[in-house]
């Protein structure tokens, strides 16, 4: 000890050692904080990637459903177009018979 003080020497040594320990731990604490921030940012990145993948899957399912609806309605559309073409040419009696047969299906 360089200076004489009215405080016990063991107390001043304990405080000095505590101050040195705080200064020595500062870089480790700073790096821990940096690593924690990086981990948090990375987790947000992965959450956004998962959400984007989920949205893409939903859009893919919607497109597939629309395609299936279009495929299944193809026969109905063909029947409607044939009926429209026949309606332009056929007399009324034949048209009524055709509509009656189509409704019985």
Angstrom distances, CA of residue 84 to CA of 15, 79, 91: 99, 9, 13
What are the residue ranges spanned by the domains of the chain?
Answer: 11-72, 74-105
The token pair at 102 is: 């189509």
41-87 pLDDT, tens per residue?
999 999 999 999 999 999 999 999 988 887 777 677 777 777 777 66
Give, in degrees to the nearest 5, the angle at Cα 24 between 22 and 26.
70
Q: Rounded to two decimals, what is the model's pTM? A: 0.47
């Amino acid at each position: 000890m360089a200076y004489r003080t009215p405080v016990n020497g063991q107390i001043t040594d304990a405080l000095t050692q505590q101050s040195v320990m705080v200064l020595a731990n500062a870089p480790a604490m700073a790096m821990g904080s940096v690593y924690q921030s990086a981990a948090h940012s990375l987790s947000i990145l992965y959450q956004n990637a998962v959400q984007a993948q989920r949205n893409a899957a939903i859009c893919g399912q919607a497109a597939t459903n629309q395609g299936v609806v279009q495929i299944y309605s193809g026969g109905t559309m063909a029947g409607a177009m044939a009926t429209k073409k026949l309606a332009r040419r056929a007399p009324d009696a034949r048209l009524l018979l055709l509509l009656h047969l189509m409704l019985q299906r």
